[in-house]
Amino acid sequence: MNRENKRKQYENGYYKTHACNDTFLCKVCGRQVFPDGAGSEHRNHCPNCLSSLHVDVEPGDRASDCGGIMDPVAVWVRKNGEWAIIHRCRRCGALSSNRVAADDNPMKLMSIAMKPLSAPPFPIERIEEMTALMGGEGRMK
Ligand SMILES: [Zn+2]
Ligand SMILES: [Zn+2]
């Protein structure tokens, strides 16, 4: 394949219309990641540790030159009930939202979802007192 064709193959937007079939080694946990089993066209994060690389500006476009490791920092639920992961780039701080894949590590997903609840920004034993201060009915009768 000559250089011209190769560049054409990976031009912007290529991965929007073509499935990404690369097998890659996860830079964070070292696991070999296969494209099969994702249940979607784009395997953009490791199913084991859920980390990603900052290679996209828009999902799948491979238009970013950053290349930083993106940590999974949060999950959210879309309108249709599907979960998505918020990734944050270690190098530049960019945030992006990515669909979960069918074989993503469910324990890791749950632990990210539970994180704010297990580390509340206030002493959990004072929640009754704080609710009372807000005029709510959080008091034990
Ligand atoms: Zn990994
Ligand atoms: Zn970045």
Cα 46 from chain centroid?
9
Greater confidence (133 vs 136) lies with 133
Greater confidence (102 vs 39) lies with 102
Which ligand is located closest to the Cα atom of residue 69? 2
Q: What is the pLDDT of residue 37?
A: 65
Domain extents in the chain? 3-115
Ligand 2 centroid–CA 55 distance in Å is 8
Q: Write out the residues surrounding ion ligand 1, Cβ under 5 A.
A: 26, 28-29, 31, 46, 48-49
Which ligand is located closest to the Cα atom of residue 43? 1
The whole-number average pLDDT for the span 9-26 is 61
The pTM for the full model equals: 0.72
Ligand 2 centroid–CA 63 distance in Å is 11
Greater confidence (65 vs 61) lies with 65
Which ligand is located closest to the Cα atom of residue 90? 2
Ligand 1 centroid–CA 125 distance in Å is 36
Burial of 66 (0-12, 13-18, 19+ CB in 10 A): middle
Which ligand is located closest to the Cα atom of residue 93? 2
DSSP per residue, 28-92? TT--EE-STT-SSS---B-TTT--EES--SSTT--------EEEEEEEEE-TTS-EEEEEEETTT
Give the pLDDT confidence of 109-134 residue by residue, as tens digits: 999 999 988 888 888 888 888 888 88
Greater confidence (44 vs 31) lies with 31
Q: How confident is the model at residue 1 (pLDDT cuts 50, 70, 90)?
A: very low
Q: Where is 26: in which H helix or E strand?
A: none
Which ligand is located closest to the Cα atom of residue 27? 1
Q: Which two tokens stand for residue 54?
A: 């900052």
Ligand 1 centroid–CA 48 distance in Å is 5
For 57-61, 84-88, 108-112, 117-121, which range has the lowest pLDDT when averaged over its residues?
Answer: 57-61
Q: How confident is the model at residue 39 (pLDDT cuts 50, 70, 90)?
A: low
